[in-house]
Amino acid sequence: METTALNESRENIAFEDIYLSYFSKMKHFAKEYVISDEDAENIVQDVFMELWEKKEMLTMHLNLIAYLFTTIKNRCLNHLRHKTVVQEAATQLQEEYAITLQMNLNSLDVFDQNLFSEQDIEKVISKALDSLSEKCREIFIMSKIEGKKQKQIAAELNISINTVETQMGIAYKKLRVELKDYLPIFIFFLYL
């Protein structure tokens, strides 16, 4: 029992010496690559925590400096790869957002102000609704114009709720195409 305690005490002293000797050097090494002081510190802390959990390695004859550099290098690589993926995703989202804004701007630019007469809007809506199949149009009108719930529509038409959902999806896709030059009217349909 005393031998185990003595060995554990030696391992603790050895680990503490290693930590004090190498932590700041390893952090500086990591910071050269990951740039952020906080990220470098977290990486090195994780490596030392792992070393502490496997402290039996300290009694082996391994090249500790090579182990620390290799492990920290690999953690830095993983960190940088992850940051790159996150940055690329953020950039893609920004590009998609910019494209959407530009499309909305263009749509509003070409949107005919004269269209806002009641008769013109009715013609555009009627033409768009006529592009739908009879059943699809009926379900869409019941939902968006009459304000009925999908469950109620399914019961009245003796069809499944899934059929109602599918037909509404088809209606939105077709109406989006039909009303591509009239985005405000399509948006109006979405939020009826």
Residues 94 and 17 both lie in one domain: yes
Residues 21 and 87 both lie in one domain: yes
Residues 95 and 11 both lie in one domain: yes
Give me the CATH number covering residue 128.
1.10.10.10
Give yes or no for residue 157 having a pLDDT over 90: yes
In a domain, 104, yes or no: no
CB 108 within 8 A of CB 183: yes
- The model carries a pTM of 0.50
Can you tell me the distance from the alpha carbon of 91 to that of 98, in angstroms, rounded to the nearest whole number? 10
Per-residue pLDDT band for 185 (boundaries 50, 70, 90) equals: low
Last residue of one domain, picked from the residues 69, 99, 129? 99
In a domain, 125, yes or no: yes
Residues 55 and 85 both lie in one domain: yes
Q: What is the mean pLDDT of residues 70-96?
A: 93
Give me the CATH number covering residue 29.
1.10.1740
- Domain of residue 176, residue span: 114-190
pLDDT at position 187:
67
Residues 82 and 8 both lie in one domain: yes
pLDDT at position 41:
96
What's the mean per-residue pLDDT of the chain? 83
Give yes or no for residue 77 having a pLDDT over 90: yes
pLDDT at position 53:
87
Q: Which of 171, 189, 93, 106 minimizes the C-alpha distance to 133?
A: 171
In a domain, 105, yes or no: no
pLDDT at position 76:
96
Residues 129 and 94 both lie in one domain: no
Residues 76 and 152 both lie in one domain: no
Q: Give the chain's domain count.
A: 2
In a domain, 108, yes or no: no
Last residue of one domain, picked from the residues 46, 64, 99? 99
Residues 6 and 76 both lie in one domain: yes
In a domain, 127, yes or no: yes
Residues 94 and 121 both lie in one domain: no
Residues 7 and 94 both lie in one domain: yes
pLDDT at position 103:
79
The residue that leads in pLDDT, 130 or 119, is 130
Last residue of one domain, picked from the residues 99, 133, 163? 99
Q: Which has the minimum average pLDDT: 8-17, 86-95, 135-144, 149-158?
A: 8-17
pLDDT at position 29:
94
Render pLDDT for 167-179 as a digit per residue (tens, 0 to 9).
Answer: 999 998 888 888 7
In a domain, 163, yes or no: yes
